[in-house]
Amino acid sequence: MPNVIEVKDLNAPELEPFTRLTEAQLRNRLEPEKGMFIAESPTVIECALGAGFRPVSFLMERKRIDGRAEELLRRCEGVPVYTADREVLAGLTGYVLTRGILAAMRRPRLPTVEEICRNARRIAVLESVVDATNVGAIIRSAAALNIDAVLVTPNCCDPLNRRAVRVSMGTVFQVPWTEIGEVNSDWPEKGLARLRSLGFKTAAMALRDDSVSIDDPALRREEKLAVILGTEGDGLSPRTIADCDYTVRIPMAHGVDSLNVAAASAVAFWELRAR
C-alpha cells in the first residue's frame, strides 16, 4: 500500500522541495549528497526509476494514486505520497500540475569527464546555454541521434532543472552527462585542453567567414569529435572559437541568419554522427 499523506499544512517542511526551494537550493552545491531534483509526469519519472534513481517523495492529485501512478507507487513502496485535490496543489506549487504527478529525487554523483568520454566518439559541449527548454531539447536530440555524452560548462543551465528534465522527456537519465570544470575560469582554455588530451577534435558551431560547411568530409572522417554549442543570442565566445580545431556553420537560406541552438544541435548531431 502506498504511504499516502493528505496535505493539510501548506507550510509543512516536507513539502519544501515542491513549493519553496529554488533550483539552486535543490541543487545544494555546498552539500551535494543532500541535493535533489524534481521529475514531472509519469513518463519522466518512469525513465528516472528505470535509470536507478530513487524518489524521496511524491506530490500528486488524489485521483492519480489509483490511476496512472499506481504502478509507479508499487515500485516505490514506503515513499511518502503527498496528495490533495488539483486546485489545492495548484495553489501550493504555483502552477497547475498538468500531468498530475511530481517526484523529488536525489541527485546523482556526477561522473568525471574522463569516465563518460572514455569510449565516446561523438560528444556535445554546451557553453553557457542558460535556457532550460533548450538544454532539455538538446539532450533529447543527443539521445535520439546517438551522441555518446553531453558536457556542460559551469555557467550552463543545470540539466536536472525541472523544465529541462521535462522537455528532455527523461532522456537526461539516458545520455551520460557531466560538468566540464567546476568554476567559470575552467572553460574554455582548460576544458578544451582536457578534450584534446582525450583525443577529441573540437568543432565550434558558429557563423564566421572562415567556417566550413557542416557537410565538409573532413568532419566526418574525425574519429572523435566534440561539437561545441553556444548560448542563445551571442553564441560561442571568441576565445572558444579561436581555440577549436574547426569552425562549422549550417548553411542558411531565405536570408535566415541562424537557427535556435536546440534546432541547430539536432542538425549538427545528425550530420556529424559517427559512421
Report whether pLDDT(123) > 50.
yes
85-98 burial code (b ≥16 CB/10 A, e <16): eeebbeebbeeebe
Contact between residue 189 and residue 161 where contact means Cβ atoms under 8 Å apart? no
Euclidean distance between the first and final Cα of the chain, in Å? 50
Task: For residue 14, give Cα distances in angstroms to 9, 81, 137, 206.
Answer: 10, 11, 31, 46
Task: For residue 71, give Cα distances in angstroms to 11, 63, 245, 268.
Answer: 29, 14, 49, 38
Packing angle, helices 261-271 and 132-144, rounded to 10? 20
pTM for the predicted model, two decimal places? 0.91
d(C-alpha 68, C-alpha 42), whole Å: 7
**Using only C-alpha atoms, what is the Rg of the chain?**
20
**DSSP letter string over 161-204?**
SHHHHHHTTTGGGTS-EEES-SSGGGTTHHHHHHHHHTT-EEEE
Higher pLDDT, 95 or 234: 234
Residue 83 has what pLDDT? 86
Pairing of strands 177-179, 149-152: parallel
User: What backbone torsions phi and psi does residue 263 show, to the nearest 5 degrees?
Assistant: -65, -40
- Give per-residue pLDDT as tens, 249-259: 999 899 888 89
Contact between residue 156 and residue 135 where contact means Cβ atoms under 8 Å apart? yes
User: What backbone torsions phi and psi does residue 122 show, to the nearest 5 degrees?
Assistant: -130, 125
Contact between residue 123 and residue 191 where contact means Cβ atoms under 8 Å apart? no
- Give per-residue pLDDT as tens, 186-202: 999 999 999 999 999 99
Report whether pLDDT(75) > 70.
yes
d(C-alpha 87, C-alpha 61), whole Å: 9
Report whether pLDDT(99) > 90.
no
Residue 98 has what pLDDT? 47
Of 9-13, 137-141, 213-217, 269-273, which range is least confident?
9-13
Burial (0-12, 13-18, 19+ Cβ within 10 Å), 41 = buried
Cis peptide before 108 (omega within 30 of 0): no
Identify which of 67, 24, 71 has the alpha carbon closest to the alpha carbon of residue 49: 71
- Give per-residue pLDDT as tens, 219-259: 999 999 999 999 988 899 999 999 999 999 999 899 888 89
Q: Any residues with CB less than 8 A from the CB of 242 and at least 6 apart, and which?
A: none
Find the angle CA(78)-CA(10)-CA(102) to the nearest 5 degrees: 45
